[in-house]
Amino acid sequence: MYEYSILEQAKQLQETLVSIRRQIHAYPEIGFNEIKTSALVADELRKLGIDVSTNIAVTGVVGTLKGKYPGRTMLIRADMDCLKLDELNDVPYKSRNEGFMHACGHDAHTTCLLGAAMLLSQYREQLKGNVKFVFQPAEEINGGAHLMVKEGVLENPRVDAVMGMHIWPTIQAGKIGIRYGALCAAPDFFKIVIKGRGGHAAVPDKCIDPISVGCQVYMGLQTIISRRIDPLEPALITVGRLNAGTSLNIIPDVLVMEGTVRTLDKELRKRMPQMIETMIKGITEANGAGYEFEYRQNYPPLFNEDTLTRLMEETGKEVLGAQNVVIIQKPTMGGEDIAYFQENIPGTFFIIGTLNPEKGADKPLHSAQFNIDEDILYKASAVIAASTLKYLE
C-alpha cells in the first residue's frame, strides 16, 4: 500500500521541514502582514512545479496541483499568521520580530502542508483530479478564510472537499486526533455599555451606579446559560474585559464590558443576541440606567463530515498505526475559521498531537513558551498526502 511508502518518503523530508518551520518561526507575522512567510511558501511551491497564485485575500497563497487524469478537487488549508506575544523560549530559532510569536502552531501547519505538497507532487502522473494547497492569512484576528472564500478560492476548479489540521499540545506527539460532527464552536463577540449617572461615592442615592448595574448584568448573563439553555447543550458567555471608573471615591458615569459567546448549535446561536439584550434591558430599566449593546457574529461553528472523517481515521491508522489515532470525545469551545470553507463544502479538520515534556513541548497554545515536537512534521505531512490520494482515488 502507498501509505507506508509515503511515510518513508516523508521521513526523508524531515530535515527540510524542520528548516522551513524554524525559518517561519523566527520571523512571525501578524494577520494580513505575512509577507516573508507568503514569499517562502510561494517559492517552495514553484520549486515543485505547482501553479501558484499570490496576494489572495491580501497575503494568501494558493497552489494548484493538477493531476494527469480528471477527477475531484481537494482543498487543504493551513494558516500562516502569528500572535502578538513576546516569546520566552530559549531556542536558536526564537522569534526575531519583537512582540510577535508563533504560539499557536501556524508555523507547523504551514510546514506540514508544504510537506504534503512535496509528497503529492511526486504523484502528479498518477493523480486523478486536483489538489489546492491554500495558505491562509489572518486566522487569529480577522477570519481570513472568509475573505478567501469571497475571492473565489473554492472555485476554478470547484472544490469538492476540504481538509485542515491543528497542532494540539494535550495529545501525545506522534498521534492524531479525529472528531466526528461538531469540533469547534462559533466564537461571537459582544460589547455592553452601561450608562449611569456619576457623582460622589458618599452619596450613591444621588447617582445611578453603572458598576452596581454592570455586576447585575454580569450575573444575569450567566443565568442565560444556566436557566435559559438546555443543560445538555454546550454554550458559554464569558466577559473578558470590564472597565469603569477613575478614582476610588467617584461613582462613574459609564461601565464597559466586552466578552465572547460560544455556541455549537446554529439555531441557538441565532437566539443568543436577543436573549442577552433582553437581560440587559430588564436590569438597566429596573435601575434607571441606559445601555448600548453591540453583537458581532464571528466564525461559524465547525462540523466534520462523517465520510471524510472516516477516511481520515482509516488513513491515519494505515500510516501511523491504529494505536496512534485518537477519537476525540468532546468538541472544543474554541473557534476555527476554516469553518467558512466547510460551511458549504464537506470537510474534515484533524488534530496533530505534539505533547512531549522531554522536548519541552508541553505548554498550552497561546503561551509565550509554547513549542512543538518537530518529529510530528513529517508524520502529519504523510497523513495529509495519503488521505488526499485516497480521497481522489
Q: Say how far apart CA 362 and CA 167 lie, in whole Å.
A: 12
Sequence-distant (6+) residues with CB within 8 A of 218 are: 239, 242, 257
The burial class, CB within 10 Å (0-12 / 13-18 / 19+), for 75 is buried
Q: Give the cell for residue 230.
A: 438546555
State the helix-helix crossing angle for 376-392 and 106-120, rounded to 10 degrees.
Answer: 50
Q: Is 291 a catalytic residue?
A: no
182 alpha carbon, distance to own chain's centre: 14
Burial bucket for residue 88 (CB in 10 Å: 0-12, 13-18, 19+): middle
Active site annotation includes 299: yes
Cell 481522489 belongs to 392
First to last CA, the chain: 13
Catalytic residue among 87, 123, 374, 378: 374
Determine which one of 123, 291, 299, 340 is catalytic: 299
| Cis, peptide link before residue 301, omega less than 30° from 0 | no
Q: Name which of 143, 138, 69 is nearest 106 in CA terms.
A: 138
Q: Which residues are catalytic?
A: 299, 374
